[in-house]
Amino acid sequence: MTERVMIFDTTLRDGEQSPGASMNTAEKLRLAVQLEKLGVDVIEAGFPAASPGDFEAVSEIAGKMERVEVAGLARTSKQDIDRAWGAIQHAAKPRIHTFIATSDLHMHYKLNMTKDEVLTTAVEAVKYACSFTDNVEFSAEDASRSDRDFLCKVFEAAIAAGATTINIPDTVGYAIPEEFSDLTKYVMTHTPNIGNAVVSVHCHNDLGLATANTIAAVSAGARQVEVTINGIGERAGNTSLEEFVMAIHTRPNYLPLTSNINTELIYPTSRLVTMITGIIVQPNKAIVGANAFAHEAGIHQDGVLKNPMTYEIMKPENVGLSASKLVLGKHSGRHALRSRLKELGYDLSDEELKLVFKKFKELADKKKHVVDEDLEVIVTEGILRTTDTFRLEYLHATCGTTVIPMATVKLNINGRLVQGAGYGNGPIDAAYDSIAKLTGTGSELLRFSISALTSGTDAQGEVTVRLKENGLIALGRGADPDIITASVKAYINGLNRLEYLKANPVEAMEGL
């Protein structure tokens, strides 16, 4: 008999803990709306006690969602739980998610607590959370390295205290599939009241085994999986939603499980996360990578032309990809633009569409066809960046074999126009130097990469930068048919993300 697995998406919480992936409230809300459309069962909207910004974002999301459960993360303290409930209390389906470490290593070195103290703290936290809602999840941090009997004892006590979901996290990606399957079975057979709770798993990808461990756990009986879009998250990331969902979708003979995910929205959601976070999906990434459905070898091409199933185990249409796309140009109207944007997951207001349409026409005058990737850039830069501190007003750069590279830049800094010029080893270096002086920032450029969004000589160039300042790291992304302009947009985007991080300092917190 086919059973359903609940999809608990933590892109907005654990995913945001990827270095440089911090999102502002507007970005989080837009992604949450898309996740609800995608069909996830639970959105972990954030860690409300971490910062005022996180609290605000979780509150906004909680008030907006209509169907999906909204979870707020909290440590096992009344202050954290109060903060979590304050943020999610207006949700249609609120959930408090509280956690404490149970491994000897964490209890001794991090918590400085005994097993009895951890057990008591866990029970008190669950009981307190249950005073607000009967939808409480309890997680045993570092479960995969915990004493199994103690782990079961804590879970039993948490369920008795009112927890309706218990989570087994492989916090540091230490487990291997056979081991994690055995741990899941052990918990389910040695926790007397386990039938009163849903068993969840939360796996990290430090050894590249997050998806494999998650599949092993659901095969052993777990019925909730905690995942992120594109597998983003702390360190090497989390279990990838698209990988898990398409695994059970493609192999029902071995995995007789279903989910509520609308698989045709997987690719648009993946692209939205990339656009918001600036974290590029590697080309060979499963399901959503650029090469996932690409074939170059002659024998593969021949086979696919005769029957796609020879070398494709999934239909690209099933994840939202299609060989036929609506190509927009300078003669296209608002209706066609709105229709395509909706297909990409952007349901814009009339005012937002008006702004995007103007930028669309400007780009259409520069290049023959405007494709999906171009539209995503327009939406990102025109709609999702409305609260930026720094905005580019003007750029002029000179370079060549007989001139010294120079750049003149005009910026809008919180409504104030400033202008400056500088020299450098090249036009991009000159522009970056000018911008740094105008903004008074001292960030270090850790990474700089360029790629083409589409084929053709008129393709938009996409630039990604990684900046570091005062211990904070942020990613910046920009796109434009002119690669120097794209580079400047990426740098300014990165500086704005650093400003956001400075204004919203994340307090000391522990991720699962």
pLDDT tens digit sequence for 379-388 = 876 666 546 7
SS (H, E, C) 161-195: HCCCEEEEEECCCCCCHHHHHHHHHHHHHHCCCHH
* Mean pLDDT, residues 357-362 taken together: 85
Lowest mean pLDDT among 46-55, 150-159, 274-283, 339-348: 339-348
- Give the torsion sign (CA, 338, 343, 349, 353): negative
Delineate the domains of the chain, giving CATH numbers in brackets: 3-277 (3.20.20.70), 293-320 (no CATH), 334-382 (no CATH), 390-503 (3.30.160.270)
In a 13 Å sphere around the CA of 110, the CA atoms on its Cβ side amount to: 14
Rg (CA), the chain: 24
Q: Is residue 470 helix, strand or coil?
A: coil
φ/ψ (deg, to 5) at 434 = -65, -45
What tens digit of pLDDT does each residue of 119-131 get? 999 999 999 999 9
Answer whether 378's CB lies under 8 Å from 340's CB.
Answer: no
pLDDT score for 64? 96
SS (H, E, C) 4-65: ECEEEECCCCCHHHCCECCCCHHHHHHHHHHHHHHCCCEEEEECCCCCHHHHHHHHHHHHHC
Stronger pLDDT, 301 or 226, i.e. the higher one = 226
Decide if pLDDT at 360 tops 90.
no
Lowest mean pLDDT among 73-82, 483-492, 493-502: 493-502
Lowest mean pLDDT among 23-32, 83-92, 160-169: 23-32
Strand-pair category, 390-398 with 406-413:
antiparallel
pLDDT score for 507? 37
Instruction: Work out the burial of residue 265: count CB atoms within 10 Å of its CB; fewer than 13 is exposed, 13-18 middle, 19 or more buried.
Output: buried
135 Cβ contact partners less than 8 Å away, ≥ 6 residues apart: 69, 93, 94, 95, 96, 164
Decide if pLDDT at 321 tops 80.
no
pLDDT score for 346? 77
Stronger pLDDT, 297 or 279, i.e. the higher one = 279
Q: Is residue 157 helix, strand or coil?
A: helix
Answer whether 142's CB lies under 8 Å from 171's CB.
Answer: yes
Lowest mean pLDDT among 15-24, 222-231, 319-328, 391-400: 319-328
AA letter at 414 = N
AA letter at 200 = S
pLDDT score for 294? 64
Per-residue pLDDT band for 511 (boundaries 50, 70, 90) equals: very low
What average pLDDT does the chain have? 88
* Mean pLDDT, residues 457-473 taken together: 82
Decide if pLDDT at 301 tops 70.
no
Decide if pLDDT at 300 tops 60.
no
* Mean pLDDT, residues 441-462 taken together: 79
* Mean pLDDT, residues 403-431 taken together: 93
Distances (CA, A) of 353 to 50, 357, 384: 34, 6, 13
Nearest in space to 42 (alpha carbons), one of 98, 95, 100, 3 = 95
Percent above pLDDT 70 for the chain: 89
DSSP-assigned beta bridge partners for residue 240: 228
Stronger pLDDT, 379 or 167, i.e. the higher one = 167
* Mean pLDDT, residues 362-378 taken together: 76
pLDDT score for 222? 98
Provide the H-helix boundaries in 278-396.
Answer: 298-306, 334-343, 350-366, 372-382
